[in-house]
Amino acid sequence: MTESAVIETNDLSKSYGGVRAVCGLNLSVPPSCITAFLGLNGAGKSTTVKMLLGMIEPSSGEGRVLGSPIGDPAQSVALRRRVAYVSENKRLYDYMTVEQIIRFTRSFYPDWRAEVERDFLHAYELPPDRKIKKLSKGMRTKLALLLAFARRPELLILDEPSEGLDPVGIEQLLESLVSRCAEGTSIFFSSHQIPEVERIADHICMLDKGRLVIDAAMDDLRQSYRQIDLVFPSVPDEREFRMAGVESIRTKGHQMRVFASRNAETVMERARSFYPSSVEVSPVGLRDIFLETIKEN
Amino acid sequence: MLWYKAWLETRPRFLICLIGITALCSFAVYHGDHQALSYTGADYYRYVLLSGHAMLCESWVLAVTLLMMGGLLREKVAGASSFTLALPVSRRRLMAVRIGVGLLQAFALAIVPWSVMFFIGSVAGKTHSITQAAFCLALLLGGGLLFFALALLISSLVEGEYTAPVVSFGIVIAIAVLFSDRALRVYSPLAFITGFAYLDRHTWLLTGPVPWLHLATYLLLAAALTAVSVKVIEWRQF
């Protein structure tokens, strides 16, 4: 695979009537790494994924997945051989048994990995002769993951893959994602489980109200985001701290909390000019970055 | 394997319809003698076979309408359309397979009950003309495909697991009522498939040449509706 982005969008937008679900999205997902796609419910994540897979037509803009334009139905079929997708609801055909749907899906992919199928069936204890309509939500999720992982896709797109899984299942899933990524598969997944994302993601894309608000490497986020707690004998005006990289400022009594996405050093220098009695700089976790970013937007 | 999927999806409905229609028509042929004899002087076996055919036509239209409920729109309601649309298969091919399986089932739903009726008639010493049976089948399958295509179109337009069948059955009933008027009966697809327009009331046989023009018109209409259904699914957003 080339080093160009596996998913690229240029001003991609989707409106439903008067409601803009996705607005001018410029996404660039790097290859051979795990990219998390974060956002609140209704932020536009699933709509974006459906546009990428050709299930819905963008209102404007364009996109490319593995180099193929997303709006071209002829290329879309070829593209779907190279991309595995697990949808948000993990619904499969209720009238099939586990064995039947595996046989059905396998027929579309000549490079199907029988050993992965066996391992997943064993690890997830999926009963081959049980009808899908009789499976629990967790079992259905496991089956959907089996059907995606037993292939050899270049790109795995997963919408809330851990939803419905028990802690053991989640652990198995995270291990599988990391090992697939190590084999060279690019992974793009949406999740509300921030601790899971923080553990495995190399790159973060965050969507809010259809707009991309963060697109950065996880390491860069860890290094650049800082929470600066200041205590002043006399609190300066918040406007003194409004500068590039400052995402939010909160003042309470003599205390001020500055949340910075970059330029923490500059903020501290400015703070020192007001003679603070205490300056405390701490790294910020992904959960706080998510909450602060969403709140600010 | 798409054929396998389409077969598994419709198998219960198809088998229930096939067994039900065959049993109903066979019963009419085997046990209808006494009723037929009591008020008609015609060759009763012909009467019975034609009654069987009329019953088959009505049940066939309902069964085909029921069978064609399904596909991507129904999967969308059930939540499985994302899985189907992520497969490396075009929507046109998905539709082609669905139509193909539907056609095979529709043909089986006409041919199997007719064959059983023919067999039962023969066993009971009421041998029927094979050309008459072929005439009946040609009318049913030629004209009936209009109902097949209509059901396919509605299942491609109307969302909702129960809404689509309700609308489809509603339209079939509306057609039956609308064309029941004597002036319009000549255009009625239901009257066409039952063959009553071609029935000689003295001999109780279908007479005249096969109405190729009518058949071709119904087949063209069915083809047009099918083409529209495929386009609708290709354009539709999921």
Provide the pLDDT for residue B44: 62
> pLDDT at position B101, please?
97
| Nearest residue to B204 (alpha-carbon basis) of B42, B48, B53 | B42
Selecting from B5, B89, B238 the residue whose C-beta is nearest the C-beta of A56 gives B238
Enter the tokens of residue A253: 């009594």
- Per-residue model confidence (pLDDT) at position B181: 82
In contact, A34 and A187? CB cutoff 8 Å? yes
Strand A7-16 and strand A60-65: the pairing is: antiparallel
- Overall average pLDDT of the A101-117 stretch: 94
pLDDT at residue A134, rounded to an integer: 95
Distance from CA of A265 to the nearest CA of B (A): 48
Which residues of B fall within a CB distance of 8 Å from A54? 85
Contacts of B234 in chain A (CB under 8 A): 73
**Alpha-carbon gap, residue A248 to A241, rounded angstroms:** 10
Q: Which residues on chain B are in Cβ contact (under 8 Å) with A95?
A: 8-9, 11-12
Run of H or E including B235: helix B212-235
- Cα separation, A275 vs B178, whole angstroms: 90
Q: Do A108 and B88 touch (CB under 8 A)?
A: yes
| Whole-number percent of chain A with pLDDT over 90 | 70
Residue A1: pLDDT band (50, 70, 90) is: very low
With contact defined as beta carbons under 8 Å apart, do A10 and A62 qualify? yes
**Could you tell me which residue, B182 or A160, shows the higher pLDDT?**
A160
- Cα B111 to chain center, whole Å? 11
Phi, psi of B81 (to 5 degrees): -65, -30
Tokens 């019953």 correspond to what residue? Answer: B55
DSSP for residue A70:
T
CB burial readout A47-85, b (16+ within 10 A) else e: bbbbbbbbbbebeebebbbbebebeeeebbbebbbbbbb
User: Which range, of A126-140, A197-211, B21-35, B53-67, averages the lowest pLDDT?
Assistant: B21-35
User: pLDDT value at position B88?
Assistant: 94
Q: Give me the pLDDT at residue A17, please.
A: 85
> Which pLDDT value is given to residue A2?
42
> In the predicted model, is pLDDT for residue A211 greater than 70?
yes
Query: In terms of Cα–Cα distance, which of A47, A61, A53 is closest to A16?
Result: A47
pLDDT along chain B (238 residues), means of 10: 94 96 86 62 64 89 94 91 94 96 97 90 75 89 95 93 92 91 84 85 78 93 97 92
Element (H, E) at B136: helix B130-157
What's the pLDDT at B42?
A: 56
Smallest Cα distance from A102 to chain B, Å:
11
pTM: 0.86
Distance between CA atoms of residues A284 and A293, nearest Å: 12
Q: Minimum mean pLDDT among A129-143, A271-285, B41-55: which range?
A: B41-55
Give whole-number Cα distances, A18 to A25, A59, A78, A118, B211, in Å.
Answer: 18, 12, 33, 48, 53
* Sheet bearing A226-231, strands edge to edge: A246-252, A255-260, A226-231, A278-283
